[in-house]
Structure 1
Amino acid sequence: MTRVIMARHLVAALATVLSLATPCARADEGIGPAPAGAPARGLDWTGTWEAAPSGTAPAQPGASFRNVVHTSVGGTAVRVRISNRLGTEPLRLGAVTVALREPGEPAGPDAVPGSMRAVTFAGARSAVVPPGTDLVGDPVRLRIPADADLLISVHTPGDPGPATYHRSAHQTNFLARDGDRTADERGTRYTTDLHSWYYLTGVDVLGAPAAGSVVTLGDSITDGTGSTPDTNRRWPDRLADRLSGLPPRQRLGVLNAGISGNRLLRAGSGPSALDRLDADVFSRAGVRTVIVMEGINDIKGTPEERNPRALEDAYRRIVTRAHALGIRVVGATMTPYGGHPAWTAAREAVRQEVNAFVREGGLFDAVADFDAAVRDPADPYRIRPAYDPGDHLHFDDAGMRAMADTVDLDTLVP
């Protein structure tokens, strides 16, 4: 049964790429993503936000989901990517809308008055997304600021089967159980809080003052575990903050393709990193660079990967495929986890050997040495106490900032 499921996921990933990989991202030539590695220009699409599908949850027939997403770059128009990639039944979309989120303390499900826009699919308000695929909406004219919250609302009128979602959002989202509330500016009917993103896998903007986008491919550390929820303090968010201060020719949108529990070689929490490269990295809009931080769950997971060569070979495969598309690859070292229940001396030896390969093997276009940035000088097998939220594996807000500060911005755009 496991092999059948995995085979379906591989077919689904291929179907997603075929459905998205149109040859151009120009607003005057269709709605497909930009050619991989191509610099963004005035009429090009740039990825501003991403959530990689990690699994499925029970559907909520007849309900409306209001997803809150935070932009990394802005533009003059927007398009959304809806996913039924891991679903088993056709997903019927009754309505989808996009709006700017009304600021507040705390901010809730209310939209900025006058900003609500309907999303269409080939000109229609409703659409059906086959299982195993993503669907890209038509361009929506709405000026999108950088560093702002959007509301992407999705109504599912029937029972679509298991809902494709990103489980660990570290962001409060909202559910209205009583029908189509996607066009409601006031969010009073969104009475249930959610902590996952449902059906939504990406947001692109048109004409961003940027050179393209960078994808951060990783696990729970990249996903944001340990950071303060509802504050956008994951290390990719911090990286976006740093990039926002650069001139447009060096600025990039930041796409977070982290999945908690994700592994480099094996499926588990979502498809493996190798199996989701097409759907979560190469098919995204305007990708110039990918930062790879994967492997710790292979080392400490069940079954554990004891052979450093297997992880190194996987890195080679990622780099080879990315370079064939003109995409740069930054290798990130795996961070310490001494004190965590899964730590053993044998596993630590594997981590150290793989990290040495990342630093010294000459494979990557650049290296982000996260290990050196966050390890405790007094006990290098452990995280600095000031960065440790208490589980000895993930990072608090200060640790996330330290990781983002480690990335050499000059290496992201050649």
Structure 2
Amino acid sequence: MTGGHVPVPARRGLLYAAAAGAAAAFTSAPEASAAPRPGTSWTTSWATAQTAPTADDPLASAGLTDGLCTARLRLSAGGRLRLRYAHGFGTAPVLVGPVTADGRPVTFGGRPQEWLAAGASLTSDPVAGLRVPDGSLLTVETRLSGPTGPLSFHRNTHAWHLVDGVRTRSVLLLTGVETTGARGPVVAVLGDSIAEGTGTPDDGDLRWPDQLARRLPGSAVANLGISGNRLLLDSDRFGPGAQARFDRDVLALPGLRTVVVHLGVNDLHHLPVERDAGRMVAAYRQLALRARSAGLRVVGATIAPFEGWKRWTPEQDAVRHRVNEAVRTGRVFDAVADVDAALRDPDRPSRLLPAFDSGDGLHPGPSGHAAIAAAVERGHLR
């Protein structure tokens, strides 16, 4: 959620044509729904959401020639697995492979290499001879012969990876690990830098979606947080807004059953600042409608306080209160995770409880992430 916001013209048709606390308060009763049968369907056990590189992202902007990308990924649900690559912001195809997962060869239609078309996705065959337990750490090595040109990527996974032996927090092209072992809720988190993990240590696996997965053994949790991402507007650096990326990032996931919408604070403090609570609530309603139309349950999170952040104002906090009240009482979502109630300081409700604050007033630390995970109850997930 750091950095300035630059609106960009709508270009969604081109980009998306390839992809048709500790305390909590909830509203709405949970719907009965059977859990997935392990081994019978694919669900997303690890995920990132992509953006296009900018001039401030030299690695992804320049692309690779005979490059080797090594990603270390913390899974949620285990089982058999396959990999998913995507190039949603690409302008030219990229040859992917050879690829290994924990040292085992990965194939695409039986071949060690396959072309990933610009704007498209590419899913591997199931990896022969490999089954992984819940919560395991998977190492994926991907050779990109190139020259690739600019690469679609996720800027900061809050974990360390390698590209040609150089450490980076970014993941290039790889967007998902799908497994067959989910026996609990199957969840996607549409979020911003809080879900992405800002405020938690790199390689700590302490982001709230990680902690939710550990609370619910056998659950498949896809973290689609993008730092700086907004509900209403797009940005060159922080990617398409939640409404623009919903179909590709959320609805394209296999076996998904619930989506948690956890963003909106960037609309309040990034320029141009959103002052109309009604516009934000209307956007939430549209996301909920699209989720339900796809047969998904949708859980909404209230916006946490952020007094102490460098761009906080009392006027922004007033808009936040109006948005949160509408989310709590307006039947926007099927259930509400009251993140505001879970994280706020009861003595000063416009700020985070000091024990939950990472130090910047906006991003919770690890204990704050644990409080968010506790606010998302199993009974409100499928």
**Shift of residue 152 of structure 1?**
1.4
Match for 1:11: what amino acid? L
User: Can you give the 5+ residue segments of structure 1 that lack an aligned partner in the other structure?
Assistant: 19-36, 100-115, 177-190, 245-250
Alignment of 1:182-331 (within 5 A): 191-206=165-180, 208-211=181-184, 213-244=186-217, 251-268=218-235, 269-331=238-300
Which of 110, 114, 134 matches 2:121? 134
Taking structure 1 as the reference length, the TM-score comes to 0.82
**Shift of residue 212 of structure 1?**
5.1
Alignment partner of 1:292: what SS? strand
Alignment partner of 1:94: what SS? strand
Match for 1:201: what amino acid? T
1:304 & 1:349 partners in 2: Cα distance? 13
**Shift of residue 359 of structure 1?**
0.7
Does the 8 Å CA contact 2:44/2:222 hold for their aligned counterparts?
yes
Highest RCO, 1 vs 2 (Cα 8 Å, sep ≥ 6): 2
Does the 8 Å CA contact 1:10/1:275 hold for their aligned counterparts?
no
**Shift of residue 209 of structure 1?**
4.2
Alignment of 1:97 with 2:85, yes or no, is no
Partner of 1:120: 107
Q: Deviations over 1:153-211 (max 9, x none)?
A: 111111111111111111000122xxxxxxxxxxxxxx3111111111011012x1414
- How many residue pairs align between the two structures? 354
**Shift of residue 288 of structure 1?**
0.7
Alignment of 1:149 with 2:137, yes or no, is yes
**Shift of residue 346 of structure 1?**
1.3
Which of 324, 332, 339 matches 1:370? 339
Match for 1:361: what amino acid? G
Partner of 2:77: 73
Q: Deviations over 1:36-86 (max 9, x none)?
A: x995333211211111112322212111000111110111x2111111111
Match for 1:373: what amino acid? A
Match for 2:158: what amino acid? H
**Shift of residue 5 of structure 1?**
6.5
2:275 & 2:179 partners in 1: Cα distance? 42
Alignment partner of 2:119: what SS? coil
Alignment of 1:350 with 2:319, yes or no, is yes
Alignment of 1:5-24 (within 5 A): 6-7=10-11, 9-15=12-18, 17-18=19-20
Distance 1:197 1:314, change over 3 A: same
1:117 & 1:82 partners in 2: Cα distance? 17
1:54 & 1:225 partners in 2: Cα distance? 17
Partner of 2:30: none
Distance 1:255 1:368, change over 3 A: same
2:353 & 2:8 partners in 1: Cα distance? 43
Partner of 1:183: none
2:315 & 2:234 partners in 1: Cα distance? 23
Alignment partner of 2:282: what SS? helix
Partner of 2:159: 171
Does the 8 Å CA contact 2:7/2:234 hold for their aligned counterparts?
no
Alignment partner of 1:275: what SS? helix
Alignment partner of 2:306: what SS? coil
2:344 & 2:372 partners in 1: Cα distance? 11
